[in-house]
Amino acid sequence: MSKGSVPMEVQKILNEYDLSKLSVATAGSHSALQILHGAKKEGLRTVLIVKKDRLDFYRTFSHFIDEFIIIENWSEILEKDVKDNLIALNSIIIPHGSFVEYVGSKNLQKYEVPIFGSRKILEWEATQEKKMELLRRAGIRVPKEFKSPEEVDRLVIVKLGGAKGGRGYFLASTPEEVKEGLEKLGNPSNYIIQEYVIGVPAYYHVFNSKVYNRIEITGMDIRYESNVDGLRRLPPKYASKVSPTFTVVGNIPMVLRESLLITVYNYAKSFVEVTKEVVGEEIVGPFCLESIITENGEIVVFEFSGRIVAGTNVYIDGSPYSYLYWDEPMSVGRRIAREIRKARDKGMLEEILR
Amino acid sequence: MSKGSVPMEVQKILNEYDLSKLSVATAGSHSALQILHGAKKEGLRTVLIVKKDRLDFYRTFSHFIDEFIIIENWSEILEKDVKDNLIALNSIIIPHGSFVEYVGSKNLQKYEVPIFGSRKILEWEATQEKKMELLRRAGIRVPKEFKSPEEVDRLVIVKLGGAKGGRGYFLASTPEEVKEGLEKLGNPSNYIIQEYVIGVPAYYHVFNSKVYNRIEITGMDIRYESNVDGLRRLPPKYASKVSPTFTVVGNIPMVLRESLLITVYNYAKSFVEVTKEVVGEEIVGPFCLESIITENGEIVVFEFSGRIVAGTNVYIDGSPYSYLYWDEPMSVGRRIAREIRKARDKGMLEEILR
Amino acid sequence: MSKGSVPMEVQKILNEYDLSKLSVATAGSHSALQILHGAKKEGLRTVLIVKKDRLDFYRTFSHFIDEFIIIENWSEILEKDVKDNLIALNSIIIPHGSFVEYVGSKNLQKYEVPIFGSRKILEWEATQEKKMELLRRAGIRVPKEFKSPEEVDRLVIVKLGGAKGGRGYFLASTPEEVKEGLEKLGNPSNYIIQEYVIGVPAYYHVFNSKVYNRIEITGMDIRYESNVDGLRRLPPKYASKVSPTFTVVGNIPMVLRESLLITVYNYAKSFVEVTKEVVGEEIVGPFCLESIITENGEIVVFEFSGRIVAGTNVYIDGSPYSYLYWDEPMSVGRRIAREIRKARDKGMLEEILR
C-alpha cells in the first residue's frame, strides 16, 4: 500500500483502517443525501456530519445514514473531536461544494482524514484566474477575459471567487457599469471579468474512473437561478426595471445533441490530462464543465468544478447517460461508492484517495 | 373499525367493503393514469370513471385498468348509479384536481364513497382567502396581499379562486390595471391580489404518511405555462405587445438545493400540524406547496394544493427524491396505493380515509 | 415471406438473412447510443457506422457495440463496401435524423439494406410543403401559412427545408423583414413562411406498433435552442440587440396535462391513418409531432419527424409515459429493438421493414 501519491499522514491513517468497514462521510448539505444513499447501496457504511438544526430533516433518511456526527457550527469540522470520530469510523470524505466552502480549500489540503478525489484541484478551483488557466491549457474554448474594468468593450459578466452558488455575479457592458457593480459588492479583490457569451448554458457531469480506466459522462443539467430565470416570465416593461441575479437554487435535467457529446468527451479527456501535468495530481472521480453553447454549436467553457456538483441531484435515480454504462440507477454518489468499493477490492485505493 | 374520524355514512359503507378486493377509483383526467397504474402495481383493483369521448385513449391502458365506468358528462359522477357502482367495487376515490373541479369541493364533503386523504382541506383550498390564511398560520412565508385594487402599489398578480389551472390570472402594477383586468373577466368575486414576488417558481410535492409516520418529499416541478413560458422566446419588441397568460399545460422536472430542501421539509411539517388545529382534520397523503424562491434563497409560498398535483406526472417512473425512500420507481400514485395497502393490512384504514 | 410491401430488392436481401443473428445498425450521431444500447438489451447484435474522428468516444461504449464500420466521410455510407458489410452482418438500419441527412432522403429510397419504418415518409418530411399538407389532411391544427413574403401581416417564422436542427430559421413581422432574412441566407428555394403561433413549444414522441397493434406515447420534450433560450436570461436592453436563432443543441424533459395527452393521441392516430392513404405506406415505429400549445390549450402542430427524434435521448432510461406500458426502462431505441425482435419471432418482419 504505497505506490500512490496519498499524503504521508493520510497514508498512515489509511494503513490503520479496517477496510472491511469503510465509511463514506460528508457534511449535511449540497449532495449529501445522494452520496450517502449511494454508499449504502454499495454496501459501505455512512456518516453524516450534520448541524443540529438540520438533524430532524436528515433523520427521515436514517434508513441509509448509519452515524450522525452532530455539530453546532460548520467550523467544527476542523476540530480534533470530529476528525478523530471520522477516523475511528474508517471514513473517506467526499468533498462536495458546501464541504469545501465550510472547511476552506486551504484547510482541506492538510485535513487528516482520507479524501476521495484530488485535493489540489480544489485549490485551483477556488481562484478564478487559476481556474481559467487550467481550462485554457487543456485547449478548451473559454470566454475572453478582461484584465480591468477599463478594457470592457462588450457585454460581460463579473464573477466573485469561491463556491458561492452564483451570488454576487452581475452583468455590465461598460467600464462604468463594472466599477459601479464592484463598489456595490464592497470592492472585492478575487473576481474576474468574462465576456458574456451569447448562447445557452449547459453543465456537464463527468467521472474519471481509475478502476474502469475510462471517462464517463454521467449527466448534465441547467442551473435554475434566481431571479434571472424568473425575470423571463415578466413582460419587458416590468423586467427592464429589475437587475438579474444568479443565485443557484436548483437544477433542471437536459440532454445534449449526440454530436456535441463528443466535444464534451474530448474536452473532459484533455482536462484530465492537463491536471496531471499542471496540477501535478490527476483529477479523479466526478467533476463538471460549465458552458455556454453558441448558435454555431460551439461549446465555450466558463468554469469548472473539481468535485461532485449539486446538479447531479437531478439524477439520484440514474441519468439517461449513466444508464448507458450501468443498466441500473447509478447516481454520481453511488458511482463514487462503487469506485471506492472496487478500488478497495483490487487493492488500488491509493490511486483514488488523497 | 371506529377510532378514526371517517364520516359516519362513509364508515358504514366501508364496513361493508370486502377489503381483500379494494379498488382505487378516479376520473379520467389530471393524474388518473399514474394513480391507477400505481394501484395496479400494489395489487389493488382499479376503476376509471371516464367520459365516452376519452375511452378510446384510456383503453390503450387497459392492462392496468380493470373497470371503466363510462359517462357522458362529468356531472354524472354525482349520480346514484355511479356511486352505487363505485361502492359495489369496494372503491376508494383518489380526488385529483380535476375530480374536485368536476364534483365541486362542497359536493365532495358529502359524497358517500370513501375518499383517500382529507375532504375538509379541499374546501379550504377552494377559497383563496382561507388558503392563504392556513399558510400564514403555519408560519410559512407568503406574499403580501392587497385587500382592494386601490391599495396596489407594486407589481401584483390577480388570481381567481378554484382549480382552473392558472386560467384568468393576470399581472398589474397599478389600481387601474387591476380594475381593468377584473372587468375583462366579468368582475368575479372570488379572487385575491397578491404581491408578485420576484424570483423563480418551484412546486414541492409532499406526502404525509400515517403508516410510516413521516413526511416524504416525493418530488418537485416547474409548471409549464402558456403563453408566459413562450413569450420569453420572443424578442422584446414582439413580446411587449402580448399580455402574459398562465394556463398550465405541462410540467418540467427540477431538483432543489439541498439546504433549501430542509426549508421545504420544515414548511411541510408546520403545514401538517396546522391542518390538525385549524382545519380539524390532519392532511393525509399528497399535497403541494407552490412557491417563488427569491435571489436570497427565501421560499415564499403563494398557494397550496391539498391533494395530488398534476406535476407529479413528471415522476410516474419515480423521482430523484422518492428513490431515496424506496429504491424502486415510486410514483405518487403508487405511493398512495402503498399507503392504502399497508393501512389495510395494519387495520388502520380509518386514519387515511374520510 | 412476401405479404408486406418491402421493396423487391430489399426483400431479396432479407430472404438471405440469418434471422437469428439480426443486427441493428445506424450511424454514430443523433440517437445512436440509445438505439444500439436498446438493441443490445433486446438481445440483437449492434453495428455502428462511425467516422474515424469519433471512434475514440464511441469505443467507451463497446460493451454494447459489437461492430464498428469505420469511415472517413459520411458519404461513404452510400458505398458498396459499407452496404455489403451491413448486409453480411444481417443489418437492419435505423434511420435517425442525421442518418437521413448524411444519406439524403432521395438516396435512402433505393438504399439496398433493410430499413426499419417507412422510407417514403422520410421523403415527405424533407419538403416543408408536403410535410404540412400531410398534417392538414390528418385534420391536425397547423399554423397559417403564407405563400409569399408579400402576404405577411403578422409575426411569422421562416423555415428552411431539411433536418438541419433549426439552423437558419428566423422571425419576421413584415414582408420586408422576410425578404431581408431570406437574402441573408442566400435566397434559398425550399422554405416556408409560417404564422408564429403564440404559446409554448412541446414535442411529442409517438410509436406506432404493428406487433402490439397500438399507438404508444413514449415521451415528450422541449427543445433547447441556441441562442433563443439564452436570450431570455438577458435584460431587455441587451436582449433587444440580438436576433434570436434556433439551433437545437439539446432537449429538456416535460410532461403534458393529461387532458391534452388525449388530443396528442387522437392527432397521432389520425396521422397514422393518413400516411396509409396519402403516402401509400403506413408510418411504423417512432415519429414526432412538433407543436405550440396556446393559452387556450389548443395544440397547433407546426412540423413532424417521420422517425426517431433526438429528443428521445432524454429518456434513455425510460420515460414517465413509457413506464405506463412497460414497467421497465424502455427507451425508444430499445422499443424499436423490441418491435423488431417480436416481429421476427412472429414472422411479421415484412410489416415493419421497408
pLDDT at A165: 61
Burial tier of C150 (Cβ tally within 10 Å: 0-12, 13-18, 19+): exposed
A30 among annotated binding-site residues: yes
Q: Tell me if chain C has a CB within 8 Å of the CB of B248.
A: yes
B305 among annotated binding-site residues: no
Q: How many CB pairs below 8 Å do chains A and B form together?
A: 127
Distance (Å, whole) CA A149 – CA A145: 11
- Facing residues of B332 across strands? none
Q: Look up the CATH architecture of domain A8-117+331-346.
A: 3-Layer(aba) Sandwich (3.40)
Q: Tell me if chain A has a CB within 8 Å of the CB of C236.
A: yes
Fold of the C8-117+331-351 domain: Rossmann fold (3.40.50)
Which CATH number does the domain B8-116+331-351 belong to among 3.30.70.1150, 2.40.440.10, 3.40.50.2300, 3.40.50.20?
A: 3.40.50.20
Average pLDDT of the residues in A202-213: 98
Which chain A residue's Cα is nearest to C96? A258
Which chain C residue's Cα is nearest to A314? C253
Interface of A with C in 128-187 (CB under 8 A): 155, 171, 173
Q: Tell me if chain C has a CB within 8 Å of the CB of A234.
A: no
Say yes or no: domain C126-140+198-235+248-326 is CATH 3.30.470.20: yes
Q: A126-140+198-326, superfamily in CATH?
A: ATP-grasp fold, B domain (3.30.470.20)
B251 among annotated binding-site residues: yes
Fold of the B126-140+199-326 domain: D-amino Acid Aminotransferase; Chain A, domain 1 (3.30.470)
pLDDT band for position C7 (50/70/90)? confident
Which chain B residue's Cα is nearest to A226? B295
pLDDT at B104: 95
Does residue B36 sit in helix, strand or coil?
Answer: helix
Which chain A residue's Cα is nearest to C245? A295
pLDDT at A163: 45
For residue C327, list chain B residues with Cβ-Cβ distance below 8 A. Answer: 41
Mutation site, C74, C218, C234, C323, interface A, largest A CB count within 10 A: C234
Q: Which of A35, C324, A14 is nearest to A2 (CA)?
A: A14
Tens digit of pLDDT per residue, chain B (354 long)? Answer: 333 478 888 999 999 999 999 999 999 999 999 999 999 999 999 999 999 999 999 999 999 999 999 999 999 999 999 999 999 999 999 999 999 999 999 999 999 999 999 999 999 998 888 999 999 999 999 999 999 999 999 999 998 875 466 677 899 999 999 999 999 988 988 889 999 999 999 999 999 999 999 999 999 999 999 999 999 899 888 888 898 999 999 999 999 999 999 999 999 999 999 999 999 999 999 999 999 999 999 999 999 999 999 999 999 999 999 999 999 999 999 999 999 999 999 999 999 999
Burial B83-118 (b: 16+ CB within 10 A, else e): bebbbebbbbbbbbbbbbbbbbbeebeebebbbbbb
Q: Which of A327, A8, B313 is nearest to C260 (CA)?
A: B313
Cβ separation A236–B232 shorter than 8 A: no
Q: Tell me if chain C has a CB within 8 Å of the CB of B94.
A: no
Cell of A314: 437531478
Q: Which chains touch B (3 or more CB pairs under 8 A)?
A: A, C
Q: What one-character-per-residue DSSP string does B197-214 give? A: --SEEEEEEEEEETTTTE
pLDDT at B143: 97
Looking at A241-250, C1-10, C260-269, which range is the least confident one? C1-10
For residue B242, list chain C residues with Cβ-Cβ distance below 8 A. Answer: 198
Q: Please determine whether the domains at A126-140+198-326 and A145-195 fall in the same fold group of CATH.
A: no
For residue C236, list chain B residues with Cβ-Cβ distance below 8 A. Answer: 236
Say yes or no: domain C145-195 is CATH 3.30.1490.20: yes
pLDDT digits (tens, 9 = 90+) for A241-260: 898 999 999 999 999 999 99
**In this predicted complex, what is the ipTM?**
0.95
pLDDT at B276: 96
**Looking at the partner chain, which of A233, A249, A315 has a beta carbon nearest the beta carbon of B260?**
A249
Burial tier of C290 (Cβ tally within 10 Å: 0-12, 13-18, 19+): middle
pLDDT at A13: 96
Interface of C with B in 300-329 (CB under 8 A): 318-325, 327, 329
The ranges assigned to domains in chain B are 8-116+331-351, 126-140+199-326, 145-195
Phi (first) and psi of residue C77, to 5 degrees: -55, -30
**Looking at the partner chain, which of A171, A199, A232 has a beta carbon nearest the beta carbon of C232?**
A232
For residue C226, list chain A residues with Cβ-Cβ distance below 8 A. Answer: 199-200, 293-295, 297
* Whether the predicted pLDDT of C1 surpasses 50: no
Q: Tell me if chain B has a CB within 8 Å of the CB of C201.
A: yes
* Whether the predicted pLDDT of C4 surpasses 80: no
- Compute CA A1 distance to the chain's CA centroid, rounded to the nearest angstrom: 28
C30 among annotated binding-site residues: yes
